Amino acid sequence: MKKIFVAGKLLPKTEKQLQDLGAVFYQGPEPITEEALIEGVKDAHALICPLSTPVTEQVIRRASRLEIVANVGAGFDNINVAEAKARGIAVTNTPDVSTEATAELTLGLILSLMRRIPEGDQLLRETPEQFTGWAPTFFLGRELYGKTLGIIGLGRIGLAVAKRASAFGMRILYSGHQPKPAAETVSATFVTQEELIKASDVITIHAAYSPELKHLFDRTTLAQMKQSAFLINAARGPVVKEADLVEALTAGTISGAALDVFEFEPELSAKLRELQNVVLTPHIGNATVETREKMGEIAVSNIEAVLRGEAPLHSVY
């Protein structure tokens, strides 16, 4: 039987599927180290790993029997794909299943930020004496209705966000390489990135990450936004230069931000935690039982296909 090594904790349903295939599981309480991963894959034919597990050049070179690295996640920037490809090792991901969950979280972040929901919860828990009853000027937020939402990257997730935002009465702008026919279904208008940044009340990032997008939002870009605008990032942390964002939020250059991902994840700036005009969530964009179970099923299916000598179902190259 060919060995399958599992590099991290997965949902019970997925682990049961892998147990039935005779998989070997990493048992450590902490995220797996490179040394432990090398030990686990040195005689393995398949590796299944969470998005948070770095599969480095060194790991791949030491895995002489490896046929597939199956990532449980839509992304795959944790894997040295070039090295795997050079050695004929399949690399797979779990695309398309994160759309609805991530779109839902994005709208949750927008609502939480603009209506100050976490702030209100914190007030009632920590300083309830500040709440003396309804008052015309107390704890004011901003409505979504009538505001302009700028979506950077109208792919599956961006389109799903646009559909939900339209239901709130928001006007939709989007930017990208070219206009998308599907934009007509949500009455979204294609504009340049610069136009989007200057015109939007809320900007949300959903473009597929590439090195060109690193620090797309820095001091210069943030200064082009409306002072009343909000920035949402549930895509990839490095798109936003965190130090410049802290500076902009502190100075009032923009009104607020909501982040599910961070530039130096899992580390984040202590200053971000201190700001009241920021909503922070720990990379939970697709963290639903339904989505994570689907991701596990796809990863297992990719492994089964490759170990049968067939092409993977979701190759990244």
103-158 tens-digit pLDDT: 999 999 999 999 999 999 999 999 999 999 999 999 999 999 999 999 999 999 99
Tell whether 56 and 112 lie within a shared domain.
no
Q: What is the DSSP letter of 240?
A: B
Tell whether 76 and 150 lie within a shared domain.
no
The number of helices, as runs of H, and strands, as runs of E, in the chain is 12, 12
Written as one letter, the residue type at 71 is N
Q: What is the DSSP letter of 264?
A: B
Identify the domain containing residue 85 by its residue range.
4-96+289-307
Tell whether 13 and 124 lie within a shared domain.
no
Tell whether 59 and 127 lie within a shared domain.
no
Instruction: Judge whether 270 lies within some domain.
Output: yes
Written as one letter, the residue type at 45 is H
Tell whether 145 and 232 lie within a shared domain.
yes
Instruction: Judge whether 203 lies within some domain.
Output: yes
Tell whether 118 and 267 lie within a shared domain.
yes
Instruction: Judge whether 315 lies within some domain.
Output: no
Positions marked active-site: 236, 265, 283
Tell whether 141 and 181 lie within a shared domain.
yes
* pLDDT tens for each residue of 271-301: 999 999 999 999 999 999 999 999 999 999 9
Residue 211: pLDDT band with limits 50, 70, 90: confident
The residue whose two tokens read 């206009």 is: 179
Tell whether 175 and 80 lie within a shared domain.
no
Instruction: Judge whether 54 lies within some domain.
Output: yes
Q: Which two tokens stand for residue 205?
A: 């990032």
Tell whether 57 and 158 lie within a shared domain.
no
CATH number, domain containing residue 129: 3.40.50.720
* pLDDT tens for each residue of 221-280: 999 999 999 999 999 999 999 999 999 999 999 999 999 999 999 899 999 999 999 999
pLDDT of residue 209: 83
The domain total for the chain is 2
Burial of residue 5, with CB atoms counted within 10 A of its CB: 0-12 exposed, 13-18 middle, 19 or more buried: buried
Tell whether 194 and 296 lie within a shared domain.
no
CA distances from 291 to 33, 74, 146, 301 (A): 26, 11, 31, 15
pLDDT of residue 115: 98
How high does pLDDT run on average in the chain?
96
* pLDDT tens for each residue of 152-175: 999 999 999 999 999 999 999 999
Residue 74: pLDDT band with limits 50, 70, 90: confident
Tell whether 114 and 241 lie within a shared domain.
yes
Instruction: Judge whether 301 lies within some domain.
Output: yes
Q: Which two tokens stand for residue 87?
A: 């050695």
Instruction: Judge whether 313 lies within some domain.
Output: no
Nearby residues of 249 by Cβ (< 8 Å), 6 or more positions away: 256, 257, 275, 277, 278
Q: Which two tokens stand for residue 160?
A: 């799903």
CA trace torsion 232, 234, 239, 242 (10° rounding)? 70
Are 259 and 230 in contact by the 8 Å Cβ rule? The answer is no
Q: Taking the model in full, what pTM does it have? A: 0.90
The residue whose two tokens read 């179970």 is: 293
pLDDT of residue 71: 97
Are 309 and 68 in contact by the 8 Å Cβ rule? The answer is no
Helix (H, G, I), strand (E, B) or coil at 24: strand
Instruction: Judge whether 317 lies within some domain.
Output: no
Tell whether 72 and 59 lie within a shared domain.
yes
Nearby residues of 237 by Cβ (< 8 Å), 6 or more positions away: 259, 261, 262, 263, 264, 265
Q: Which of 216, 279, 226 is nearest to 255 (CA)?
A: 226
Alpha helices (H) in the chain, listed in sequence order: 12-20, 34-41, 57-62, 81-86, 99-114, 117-126, 156-167, 193-199, 219-224, 242-251, 270-274, 289-307
